[in-house]
């Protein structure tokens, strides 16, 4: 059945990078671990609700760069909180997902902002479309560290 196919996954993902946005337009602070609170990562200017934590697949950094005729885009340019590898984040929409000790629910795509042209050059906005990651709400707070597993729990 289609529902069985949709609910299955091959392997857990892995947290590859963690970044905090202390203020609007401020440089990203790269950390090895962070506490995910109800309203997002401590030290980040996130907001509670369906956009508390932002995630992007590491595999998409290379795709975005290739659309611009360059190598993978650095995660700090895209300003997402977590870079994850090895699991298809789009397949987890609406599901509860354990990320380290926290449980998140992937809610909406994280669309590119108009600053992508400024940050990565002409065509940056279009290069990120469809590859910008996901926004998630926090179901259960907890710590996240580099190397932590990312897996559905429902």
Task: Using pLDDT thresholds of 50, 70 and 90, give the confidence band for residue 7.
Answer: confident
Say what the pLDDT of residue 83 is: 98
Say what the pLDDT of residue 2 is: 75
Say what the pLDDT of residue 72 is: 96
Residue 13: which of 141, 134, 138 has the closest Cα?
134
Say what the pLDDT of residue 9 is: 73
Say what the pLDDT of residue 116 is: 86
Say what the pLDDT of residue 10 is: 75
Structure tokens at 30: 């790269």
Say what the pLDDT of residue 58 is: 97
In the chain the domains, ranked by start, together with CATH numbers, are 2-147 (2.40.33.20)
Mean pLDDT (whole number) for 103-126: 89
Specify burial of residue 118 (Cβ count, 10 A radius: 0-12, 13-18, 19+): exposed
Mean pLDDT (whole number) for 101-121: 89
Residues 98 and 87 sit within 8 Å (Cβ to Cβ): no
Looking at the predicted structure, is the pLDDT value of residue 6 above 80?
no
Mean pLDDT (whole number) for 128-138: 94
16-76-119 Cα angle (round to 5): 145
Q: Which residues pair with 40 in a beta bridge?
A: 37
Euclidean distance between CA atoms 120 and 127, whole angstroms: 9
Say what the pLDDT of residue 24 is: 80
How does pLDDT run across 21-78, given as a tens digit for each residue?
988 878 899 999 999 999 999 999 988 888 899 999 999 999 999 999 999 999 999 9
Residues 110 and 53 sit within 8 Å (Cβ to Cβ): no
């Amino acid at each position: 059945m289609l529902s069985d196919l949709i609910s299955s996954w091959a392997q857990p993902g892995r947290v590859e990078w963690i970044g905090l946005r202390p203020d609007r337009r401020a440089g990203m602070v790269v950390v090895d671990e962070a506490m995910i609170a109800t309203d997002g990562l401590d030290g980040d200017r996130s907001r509670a609700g369906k956009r508390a934590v932002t995630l992007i697949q590491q595999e998409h950094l290379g795709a975005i760069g290739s659309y611009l005729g360059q190598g993978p885009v650095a995660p700090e340019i895209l300003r997402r909180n977590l870079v994850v590898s090895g699991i298809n984040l789009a397949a987890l929409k609406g599901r509860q997902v354990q990320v380290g000790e926290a449980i998140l629910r992937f809610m909406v795509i994280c669309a590119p902002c108009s600053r992508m042209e400024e940050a990565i050059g002409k065509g940056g906005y279009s290069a990120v479309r469809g590859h910008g990651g996901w926004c998630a709400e926090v179901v259960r707070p907890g710590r996240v560290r580099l190397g932590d597993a990312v897996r559905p729990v429902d």
